Structure 1
Amino acid sequence: MKQFWRRWTYEVPLAIGDALWEVLVVQLAALLDRLTVRKAIAFIPVIILIAAYYHSIPIPPELMLIGDFLAYIDIFSVLFLLGVLSRITTIMFVVKQAAARIAVLAGSVTARMQRLDIRHGRQRSTPTRPRRKPSASEDDRAYGSVWGEVAFA
């Protein structure tokens, strides 16, 4: 009788506790390790259908639409990503063209600055050379006084 009592008060509760620990802790942790957000979202329509059949209530069309959306979330996510990528590609194209135009503009500005030659200007402190008067031709020498008076009169 002592063996029987020990078995049902000590060994059986320990075996039940070990089994519960295995199922509720160890296997649940393994399940949660394998569970992803995608799998959890894909399981929501199943829960909605089970709840609707269990309670024998009609499912509103909104819940059916949400269930369909969640069932096809992979397709919707791919379409969404393609839309985002096409916008990013367009933005990158515009940025690339703007950068090319800025580079051309900068190149033309530097070329014009070199043509102006601002760096090699004449120093203001140096005296200017006196200009030579052009030599008078033979005709000007003969009629120099006449032409000079007429020109300045």
Structure 2
Amino acid sequence: MKQWWRRWTYEVPLAIGDALWELLVVQLAALLDRLTVRKIVATIPVAIIVLAYYHRIPIPPELMLVGDFLAYIDIFSALFLLGVLSRVTTILFVVRQTAARIALLVGSTVAHVRRLDVRHRRQRGAPARPRRKPVRSEDDRAYGSVWDQVALA
């Protein structure tokens, strides 16, 4: 009798408490971890259809249309994402073209600045470099240049 009393007053309530803890806390937490907004939205049309076929509760047509919309929300969201992605690819294409043009402009500007040689300007009062005269050959030295002889004639 003592074993029976111990079992029904101590062990059985503990086993029931453990089972309730497992079901209502552990399993519910695991379910809530897996639950997403998409799954919740997907269950709403099912609940509306169950209520619609349960003849005791009248459901207005507006609620049925909301249920249909929620049932097809995946299609709407897919079309919306495709529209956004096509705009994003267009924007990326324009940004790439603009970046290429800016790089070309910067490259040509740098080349132009190098040609100008802005870093090594002469001072205003600095004397000009003397010009080098062409080297004259021995024949030119002896007889003069052709132009000198034409001028003498």
TM norm structure 2: 0.64
Cα distance in 1 for partners of 2:19, 2:127 equals 109
Match of 1:23 in 2: 23
Cα distance in 2 for partners of 1:30, 1:45 equals 24
How many pairs are equivalent? Answer: 133
Moved more, 26-35 or 92-101: 26-35
| Structure 1 residues 11 and 103: alpha-carbon distance in aligned structure 2, compared to 1, 3 A threshold | closer
Aligned CA-pair RMSD: 3.3
For residues 62-115 of structure 1, give each alpha carbon's deviation from its aligned partner in whole angstroms, at most 9, with x where no partner exists. Answer: x22332232233322222221111111011111111111112222222233233
| Structure 1 residues 55 and 12: alpha-carbon distance in aligned structure 2, compared to 1, 3 A threshold | farther
Match of 1:142 in 2: none
Which structure 1 residue ranges, 5 or more long, are not aligned?
A: 140-153
Instruction: Find the residue that maps to 1:124 and give its secondary structure.
Output: coil
Contact in 1 for aligned 2:42/2:71 (Cα 8 Å): yes
Instruction: Find the residue that maps to 2:58 and give its secondary structure.
Output: coil
Which structure 2 residue ranges, 5 or more long, are not aligned?
A: 131-147
Match of 2:39 in 1: 39
TM norm structure 1: 0.64
Cα distance in 1 for partners of 2:15, 2:119 equals 95
| Structure 1 residues 56 and 124: alpha-carbon distance in aligned structure 2, compared to 1, 3 A threshold | same
Match of 2:58 in 1: 57
Match of 2:93 in 1: 93
Instruction: Find the residue that maps to 1:79 and give its secondary structure.
Output: helix
Contact in 1 for aligned 2:45/2:67 (Cα 8 Å): yes
Cα distance in 2 for partners of 1:100, 1:138 equals 64
- The percentage of counterpart residues that share the same residue type is 71
Counterpart AA for 1:71: A
Equivalences for residues 2-151 of structure 1 within 5 A: 8-52=8-52, 53=54, 56-61=57-62, 63-128=63-128
Counterpart AA for 1:84: V
Note the C-alpha offset of 1:117: 3.3
Moved over 4 A (4+): 1-12
For residues 33-53 of structure 1, give each alpha carbon's deviation from its aligned partner in whole angstroms, at most 9, with x where no partner exists. Answer: 332332222112122333443
Cα distance in 1 for partners of 2:55, 2:7 equals 41
